[in-house]
Amino acid sequence: MTALDQIKADIEGNDVVLYMKGTKEMPQCGFSSRVAGVLNYMGVGFKDVNVLADAEIRQGIKDYSDWPTIPQLYVKGEFIGGCDIVTEMTLSGELDTLFETAGIAYDKEAAERIRAANS
């Protein structure tokens, strides 16, 4: 299986996938830590893919999305964005709407606490 085949299988086989540096339990960069932290805090179940463990996956996800940076969040097969976009969506409530529309379980009160802490 090629790296692109693996990426496609992960994205199509999981409702929420985060390509990141490190793991959701131990992020290896601040941007990955922020996105994983938001998802973890909001109680979102997601597959984490550590791009540091496989150079072909690390380059492959950039080619797949045509997006140059990591982390990258996918919801129901759709590329959502990186750290800045996920942060903006969290603070505006757009991420809540996305999860609700996609049927992804999350803790709405936790999302509201994030917004309250950043207002």
Residues making up the annotated binding site are: 29
Q: Is 52 left (phi over 0), alpha (psi -120 to 50) or beta?
A: alpha
Binding residue numbers for [2Fe-2S] cluster: 29
Distance CA 73, CA 109 (A): 22
Q: 58 is written with which tokens?
A: 């690390």
DSSP string, 43-110: T---EEEEGGG-HHHHHHHHHHHT--SS-EEEETTEEEE-HHHHHHHHHHTHHHHHHHHHT----HHH
